Structure 1
Amino acid sequence: MSGTEEPVLLHTEGRAAYITLNRPRALNALNHTMVRRIDAALGAWEHDPAVATVVLTGAGERGLCAGGDIRAVHDDARDGDGAAAAAFWRDEYHLNARIARYPKPYVAVMDGIVMGGGVGVSAHGGVRIVTERSRIAMPETGIGFVPDVGGTHLLARAPGELGTHLALTGAQIGAADALSCGLADHYVPSGDLRRLVGELAHAPVRDVLARHEQPAPLGELAGWRGWIDGCYGAGTVEEIVERLLAHGDPAAKEAAETLLAKSPTALKVTLTALRRARRLGSLESVLDQEYRVSCAALSTPDLVEGIRAQIIDKDRRPRWSPATLAEVTDADVERFFAPLGDRELGLRGPGSGTRTR
């Protein structure tokens, strides 16, 4: 990679410091190098009195970030010992926690596609901007994985069972639904972003937002709360599917069909992770749990198979193992939450500061 193609561009102007994710051909997917560079920059700017605001954007026209570099995770899980993927997640989750408690305004421009790891570097920020182009999702169950990067923390705190619906189906949502779910704070038309980002170099965030923020267009989740809360409040994934199929709303039936195409193991682990995240409380505690789950996924067949089907071969025909919800036992689920001993992430500890929303 030449010097003109650095995967993360960093610069300061006036009172602002800017991070640009710069892998547009890969939709700015995060790799380990990018995570380390962002973390180092945030560490330096935290103590730089000249920096009043940090701004995150993505290069190219398609979006902020499509997620982590899951092709590398696939190769490590299939051909290696999983150590590289675990090391990547360790640093990524530490970065997510740093962003959540950053002491200066962290402005995430969530324009276009923002998924998986892209949610992790944006939705934990203090100022989260969406546009009419925003498409936000945690699509992990479709690749035999579980929402991570603090995603189960964010979705567990969404109103009612909206977060459960989004976590299990991997559904994409727009600006209004992101605002109502607590994944974003402000709506700004995409045509105003260039000026907004530039003005942050010279004025406080609140003053700049006051010039550009507008009411968001209507979303669709609010109108679905009845069947979402009624169906996803069930105790098991099997019962959720039964309720969705029996409800009668076409959108509920479509959600059930979506679920039945996902990894049965990933669905059951995701539901358990979300319910536990509600009780755990702090983001750090949830990230510790997600690290256990992610590391466990490396040694299960569905992660490699899911990425193969969606990203490598693109045949969209994953062969899940076990193949049905009924075959996934409680013991199968519980092993994802087993302690890691001296390999724990260890974010929740004495003196670990937490800023929860």
Structure 2
Amino acid sequence: MNAVVAGNLGHLSLNRPDSINAIDLEMMRGLTEALDAWADDEAVTAILLDGTGDYGFCAGGDFREILARAAEGMTIGSVFFRNEYRLIAKLAEYPKPIISIMHGMTMGSGISLAGHVSTRVVTDRVKLGQPETGYGFVPDGGASWRLARTPGEIGTYLALNSVDLSPADAIELGFADVMVPAERVGDLTAALLDADDAASPDEKARRFATEAGPSAVLARRDWIDACYSADTVEAILERLWAFSNGDVVEGLAAADSNDPDAASNAASAADALLRLSPTALVATLRSVRAASDSETLRDALERELRLARWFTTQPDLFTGVQALVAQNTETLHQDEVPEWKPAELADVDVADIVAAMQTQLRHSVFSRGLGIPEEEPAAAPESASA
């Protein structure tokens, strides 16, 4: 992680391009220390947060680090997530303007780092997503809070189906504020560094912004609302199948949808759900629904920490990440489905998930300062060492 002051701008760059800037504990420490130092530094009036390399801003959290430590019997999951969530809250609550630039792959924790600051820029080459249910986890880092505030049931759809977002989707759904073409990012950075230009970072970003166009995801809202408003994942699947077969669901038929491909899109959504971790799907639906209008970002982070800690003791997270690594190294075919445990939605223990969401941890997100506190050892699932 690089942290420099240029003019009146504090510039933070995620700098692990070989891993698409996946965030680890060392990066969290560096970001936190720089933000703390600049908060009271009168010479620094604004912050720029970006990532190095052409492939993306941030591919998410470094789960390889979590799994390696977990395989050693360490409760690194709790430590990792607690520190990450504190950093996200710090970015969201920072007393000075922060402008983030999301380019290329921006997934999971990458969205959380960049998505709660005062001005959020995406380029025309960005690819955003919450892919967690695809590797046996839940959207976290304030994601449940953000997803619950999208129009209708779109957040539920995005969270469950691990849907990728275009620049237009990101802006229309509240994940970003403006789109700046990739070839103009250098000009934007130069403008931000120009101490003689009294405009705010937000004003400077909007100088270089262009229209992103319509959101493809938002155009599907009518059938998404109809199908994803069900109370359980099983019921959502039943509605998707019925809708794709021509039945009327919640007063809507595919023929009457604003989406001309409503039936096929609903069928594809159902097929996608069948490939994802049943445990992660059930927990994700519970988590997003729990992020009510009255809840604060800090409340969501506390609940997400409890869920994240629980998932580090479950087999699906280890199975999913190992499958992801295997796919990236081409040792597992993209179409192969990991061996989720349990493999069926009906066999997921909902009571365990509810207890995980409600049980207070010994250390909450905000109970202690940044660092690695001593914690009790926790045995990882057998698949962690496979």
With normalisation by structure 1, the TM-score equals 0.92
| Counterpart secondary structure, 2:274 | helix
**Match in the other structure for 1:245:** 241
**Match in the other structure for 2:277:** 263
Q: Is the 8 A contact 2:77 2:308 kept in 1?
A: no
**Which of these two proteins has the greater Rg computed from alpha carbons?**
2
Please report how far the alpha carbon of residue 271 of structure 1 lies from its aligned counterpart in structure 2 after TM superposition. 0.3
Q: Does 1:323 align with 2:343?
A: yes
Please report how far the alpha carbon of residue 201 of structure 1 lies from its aligned counterpart in structure 2 after TM superposition. 1.4
Moved more, 286-295 or 273-282: 273-282
CA distance in 2: counterparts of 1:80 and 1:338, whole angstroms: 27
For residues 70-89 of structure 1, the aligned pairs below 5 Å read: 70-77=63-70, 79-89=71-81
Q: Does 1:107 align with 2:99?
A: yes
Q: Does 1:185 align with 2:177?
A: yes
**Match in the other structure for 1:334:** 354
CA distance in 2: counterparts of 1:241 and 1:317, whole angstroms: 18
Q: Where does structure 2 lack aligned partners over 5 or more consecutive residues?
A: 245-262, 369-386
**Match in the other structure for 1:59:** 52
CA distance in 1: counterparts of 2:63 and 2:104, whole angstroms: 20
Q: Does 1:17 align with 2:10?
A: yes
Please report how far the alpha carbon of residue 214 of structure 1 lies from its aligned counterpart in structure 2 after TM superposition. 1.5
Please report how far the alpha carbon of residue 53 of structure 1 lies from its aligned counterpart in structure 2 after TM superposition. 1.1
Q: Is the 8 A contact 1:280 1:286 kept in 2?
A: no
Please report how far the alpha carbon of residue 73 of structure 1 lies from its aligned counterpart in structure 2 after TM superposition. 1.6
For residues 1-357 of structure 1, the aligned pairs below 5 Å read: 8-77=1-70, 79-202=71-194, 203=197, 204-248=200-244, 249-278=263-292, 281-312=295-326, 315=332, 316-346=336-366
Q: Is the 8 A contact 2:306 2:361 kept in 1?
A: no
Give a deviation string over 1:169-199, Cα, whole Å, max 9, x none.
1111011111111110111111100110121
Residue identity opposite 2:150 in structure 1: A
Q: Where does structure 1 lack aligned partners over 5 or more consecutive residues?
A: 1-7, 349-357
Q: Size of the alignment, in residue pairs?
A: 340
CA 1:167–1:57: 2 relative to 1, 3 Å: same
Give a deviation string over 1:47-66, Cα, whole Å, max 9, x none.
11111110011111111000
CA distance in 2: counterparts of 1:146 and 1:341, whole angstroms: 18
Identity %: 38
Give a deviation string over 1:4-40, Cα, whole Å, max 9, x none.
xxxx011111121111111111001001000110011
Q: Is the 8 A contact 2:121 2:205 kept in 1?
A: no
**Which runs of 4 or more aligned residues in structure 1 lie more than 4 Å from their structure 2 counterparts after TM superposition?**
none
Q: Is the 8 A contact 2:99 2:202 kept in 1?
A: no
**More relative contact order, 1 or 2 (CA 8 Å, 6+ apart):** 2
CA distance in 1: counterparts of 2:135 and 2:203, whole angstroms: 42
Q: Is the 8 A contact 2:85 2:301 kept in 1?
A: yes
Please report how far the alpha carbon of residue 211 of structure 1 lies from its aligned counterpart in structure 2 after TM superposition. 2.0
| Counterpart secondary structure, 1:306 | helix
Residue identity opposite 1:70 in structure 2: F
CA 1:27–1:71: 2 relative to 1, 3 Å: same
Residue identity opposite 2:291 in structure 1: A
CA distance in 2: counterparts of 1:210 and 1:75, whole angstroms: 43
**Match in the other structure for 1:354:** none
Cα RMSD (Å): 1.6
Please report how far the alpha carbon of residue 247 of structure 1 lies from its aligned counterpart in structure 2 after TM superposition. 1.5
CA distance in 2: counterparts of 1:141 and 1:273, whole angstroms: 12
CA distance in 2: counterparts of 1:52 and 1:303, whole angstroms: 41
Q: Is the 8 A contact 2:179 2:212 kept in 1?
A: yes
Q: Is the 8 A contact 1:296 1:335 kept in 2?
A: no
CA distance in 1: counterparts of 2:93 and 2:231, whole angstroms: 33
